């Protein structure tokens, strides 16, 4: 275990140092990209707006300038972002290290399900990150960054506020997309039933639409459904996973 931890930490530290040196690319092209009107999501939605003839689908994006009010905030943000990105990039390697450590303790019949679970965890987490980065966070930031209770109050978004919201949404969506895996394990031990998920379907639909309405408070239903649909489909996929487990058990 000692050498596994040492190797894992070494990989994370090396990646963090590399990411730290590419500050302009990391922050300019990745972290702060959703603040600009030419972000890929905004351009794609405007092209889709032209195709379907729904003008409201094209978000009205204005440049939002971030400010820093703490002396060490920019340096600490640079360090923390480099470290978080290093962990995300190193995640396949870290999972591989964990697998080689625990696999000798598993029976041959347990190894294949364990590999499938690890791969599923990895894929679901990154799908959640991608959805958050390319859809949820840009629309949320565009709404909250330009929302005003009065024209007399000017929005000045701090760097800490931006980064904390960015990290929070990314992590939240990454964990939410682990729902099918969690549902699978609860179904295996008999705690979760597909009939229960069917019973809560209407509540999930309302919750998904409510969340989507908050993120994209526009006048068209299409934009709201664009956000709500992935969340609802994730729930339905979890239900199918539970149903599959029940059928195999019978």
Pick from 136, 159, 175: which residue ends a domain? 175
The domain containing residue 45 runs over which residues? 2-175
Pick from 128, 146, 175: which residue ends a domain? 175
231 and 119 share one domain: no
170 and 203 share one domain: no
59 and 132 share one domain: yes
Structure tokens at 185: 């394990």
88 and 110 share one domain: yes
169 and 183 share one domain: no
Mind giving me the DSSP string for 84-110? HHHHHHHHHHHHHHHHHHHGGGS-HHH
Distances 191 to 181, 196, 200 between C-alpha atoms, Å: 14, 10, 15
> Domains in the chain: how many in total?
2
CB 123 within 8 A of CB 234: no
109 and 167 share one domain: yes
14 and 68 share one domain: yes
> Worst-scoring range by mean pLDDT, 162-176, 177-191, 208-222, 234-248?
208-222
The predicted model scores a pTM of 0.82
43 and 147 share one domain: yes
Q: Are strands 66-67 and 157-158 parallel, antiparallel or unpaired?
A: parallel
pLDDT in tens, 33-84: 999 888 999 999 888 888 887 777 788 777 778 999 889 999 999 999 999 9
Q: Rounded CA gap, 52 and 54, in Å?
A: 6
pLDDT in tens, 148-200: 888 888 888 899 999 988 988 888 888 888 888 888 888 887 788 888 888 88
pLDDT in tens, 88-131: 999 889 888 888 888 787 777 767 777 787 888 888 899 999 99
Q: Rounded CA gap, 131 and 128, in Å?
A: 5
Q: Rounded CA gap, 8 and 209, in Å?
A: 41
128 and 183 share one domain: no
């Amino acid at each position: 275990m000692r050498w596994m931890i040492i190797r894992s930490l070494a990989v994370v530290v090396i990646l963090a140092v590399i990411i730290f040196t590419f500050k302009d690319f990391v922050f300019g092209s990745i972290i702060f990209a959703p603040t600009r009107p030419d972000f890929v999501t905004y351009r794609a939605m405007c092209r889709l707006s032209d195709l379907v003839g729904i003008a409201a689908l094209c978000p009205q994006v204005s440049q939002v300038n971030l400010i820093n009010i703490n002396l060490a905030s920019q340096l600490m943000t640079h360090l923390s972002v480099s470290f978080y990105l290093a962990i995300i990039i190193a995640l396949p390697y870290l999972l591989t290290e964990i697998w080689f450590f625990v696999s000798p303790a598993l029976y041959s019949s347990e190894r294949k399900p364990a590999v499938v679970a690890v791969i599923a965890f990895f894929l679901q987490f990154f799908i959640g990150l991608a959805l958050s980065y390319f859809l949820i966070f840009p629309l949320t930031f565009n709404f909250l960054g330009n929302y005003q209770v009065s024209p007399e109050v000017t929005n000045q978004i701090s760097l800490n506020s931006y980064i904390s919201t960015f990290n929070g949404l990314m992590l939240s969506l990454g964990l939410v997309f682990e729902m099918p895996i969690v549902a699978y394990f609860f179904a295996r031990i008999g705690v979760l039933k597909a009939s229960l998920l069917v019973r809560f379907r209407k509540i999930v639909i309302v919750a998904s639409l409510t969340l989507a309405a908050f993120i994209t408070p526009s006048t068209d239903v299409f934009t709201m459904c664009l956000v709500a649909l992935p969340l609802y489909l994730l729930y339905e996929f979890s239900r199918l996973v539970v149903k599959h487990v029940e059928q195999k058990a019978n």
